[in-house]
Amino acid sequence: MINRTTEVVVIDDVKDEVEPLLNLLNKQGVGLCYYRGNLRDLPEKPIVGVRLLFLDFVLGTDGQSDKNKISALMGVVKGIVARDNGPYVIFAWTKHNQPQDDLFGAFKKAIMNDKDFPKPVIIIDLEKNKCVNNLRLIRKRLKEVFNDKNILEVLFHWESNARTALRDVVKLLTEISRPAITQDESFDDYSSKWNAELEKHFCKIAEMTMGKKNIGKNRRTLIAAQIALTYPFHDCLERRVWTDSEKFTNLISKIYNHASRSHTTEERALLNTAFLLNCLELEKNLQPGNVYLLSDIYKNLKCKQKACYVNKAKFTKNTIAGAFFNGDLNTYGRNKELLKELVPVLIEVTPECDFVQNKWKCAKLIYGVLWPQEHENQLKSPQKTKTLFISSPVLVNLRNKNYCLAFNSHYLLTLDFSVFKNIAPVFRARKEFLVDIQHWFASHISRPGKSEF
């Protein structure tokens, strides 16, 4: 229940020298961790989520060479801040007579040469004797570096607003569930009633997400309720972001200056993947939006062809490639290379209402491909093709390779739920992207065609 959420870390081998800073931060209600900087004093495992690191540049290495001082700093920071920590700021200070530029330069060079060191976004030098008793000077130095100049400041504020919005949601739900206090009621009875009301609300929230008929004595019910809490979270976060963004007028102008700049292929693929797809490790739960590798489906396709409405022999890589290829595949000089790299997939497109109300009778899937980006020019254009309808190819990144993701409306497949019992999707289309695909498919199959004689 206790989370490791430290955002501020102070490292100094003499605690008395930083005691005023620790007291000031405590009075501000800032959560922090203090370490003396020796190997016996490190956390059990490095911390993730550090945003400010106050670092004494001489950790018990007085009189030693710069190389030893830097080595000590590197080892301690790597033991405290996780490699995948994300962006953070180092406040570097020392009260010693060693010229700071000598240590700073050596430290920065060592950071760039060590691939395992958690990279800070900036290192800010501070005069320890002046700042240790004065948060105002520390804030001033931060403003000099970040104030409406660095876009990372917006991300730091967004992260802070997100945490506050999460607290708003927890408060909202608990307040809705809080029972009235009756006369002569014991605290234990009051606490028990409060918990029971929360349980009831969690059940109703889960019903809204997955349907009453799907509620069961398993963890999916609890998971569905927690996922549904993202709806009020978005509202709380949006309200705070609107207010907070008034501080960044100069950054708005700087962002706008990039409007005419185009993204590289790699950048497009990474952004599409992050915002359109969920590529985290997914559970083996069949639901709309799941995208499966065709090879995984074939391994689990145990039923007879007539029962599953699929003839595996018709869906070879060559056949699938031909359905998406712009022309005659046999005339393409690199067809062997294309077939080797092409990845056939299936996407589940059942309407969400059927899923929630437990009205679906089988999985409804559309064939698609992860088409190698280097062969993108050979993919049929959705604007030009008439006899074959293909969704606009979306460039995504999967397993460090760029693909065009496309679907073919001529290949609708239905399979029994049992086929997916032990298969995890390779990724899942986020709701907005899935709705776009469902709308495209519905529009295609509802075309009136020719009605004249």
Amino acid identity, position 361: K
Q: Within 13 A of 202's CA, how many CA atoms are on the CB side? A: 18
Q: How many other CB atoms sit within 10 Å of the CB of residue 103? A: 20
List, for residues 29-71, the tens digit of each pLDDT value.
888 999 998 878 889 899 999 999 999 888 877 778 888 889 9
405 with 394: CB under 8 angstroms? yes
pLDDT given for residue 87 in this prediction:
93
SS3 content of the chain, % helix, strand, coil (to 5): 50, 15, 35
d(CA 242, CA 431): 24
List Cβ neighbours of 428 (8 Å cut-off, separation of 6 or more): 277, 278, 282, 287, 289, 290, 291
What strand order describes the sheet that includes 89-93? 32-35, 8-11, 52-56, 89-93, 122-126
- Residue whose tokens read 């949006």: 238
Give the start-to-end residue ranges of the domains of the chain.
Answer: 8-147, 153-256, 265-445
Ramachandran assignment for 86, one of left (phi > 0), alpha (psi -120 to 50 degrees), beta (any other): left
List Cβ neighbours of 348 (8 Å cut-off, separation of 6 or more): 286, 287, 288, 289, 290, 291, 292, 363, 364, 365
d(CA 77, CA 92): 12
List, for residues 127-177, the tens digit of each pLDDT value.
887 887 887 888 888 877 777 678 888 888 899 999 999 999 999 999 999
391 with 440: CB under 8 angstroms? yes
Q: Within 13 A of 317's CA, how many CA atoms are on the CB side? A: 13
Reading the chain (453 residues) residue by residue, the pLDDT tens digits are 566 678 999 999 888 888 988 988 888 888 899 999 887 888 989 999 999 999 988 887 777 888 888 998 999 999 999 999 999 999 888 765 554 557 888 899 999 999 999 999 989 888 887 887 887 888 888 877 777 678 888 888 899 999 999 999 999 999 999 999 988 889 999 999 999 999 999 999 988 888 777 788 888 888 889 989 999 999 999 999 998 887 788 888 888 888 788 888 899 999 999 999 999 888 888 989 999 999 898 887 765 545 455 666 667 888 889 989 988 998 999 999 999 999 999 999 998 887 777 778 889 999 999 999 999 999 988 776 655 677 778 999 998 899 999 998 888 888 888 889 889 999 999 999 999 999 888 888 877 766 666
Q: Please report, for residues 75, 321, 333, 341, 381, the alpha-carbon distance to residue 326 in angstroms, rounded to integers and kept in the order given.
A: 56, 10, 13, 17, 8
Q: How many other CB atoms sit within 10 Å of the CB of residue 132? A: 22
Amino acid identity, position 132: V
Q: Within 13 A of 402's CA, how many CA atoms are on the CB side? A: 16
Q: Please report, for residues 30, 59, 400, 442, the alpha-carbon distance to residue 101 in angstroms, rounded to integers and kept in the order given.
A: 30, 17, 39, 65
List Cβ neighbours of 137 (8 Å cut-off, separation of 6 or more): 126, 130, 131
Positive or negative, the CA dihedral 323, 328, 329, 330 is: positive
- Residue whose tokens read 């007539």: 306
CB burial of residue 73 (10 Å; 0-12, 13-18, 19+): buried
d(CA 34, CA 368): 53
> What is the rounded (10 degree) CA torsion for 409, 412, 418, 423?
-30
Q: Within 13 A of 145's CA, how many CA atoms are on the CB side? A: 16
Instruction: Give the three-state DSSP class for 99.
Output: coil
Positive or negative, the CA dihedral 214, 217, 220, 222 is: positive
- H or E element in which residue 363 lies: strand 363-372
Q: What is the CATH number of domain 8-147?
A: 3.40.50.2300
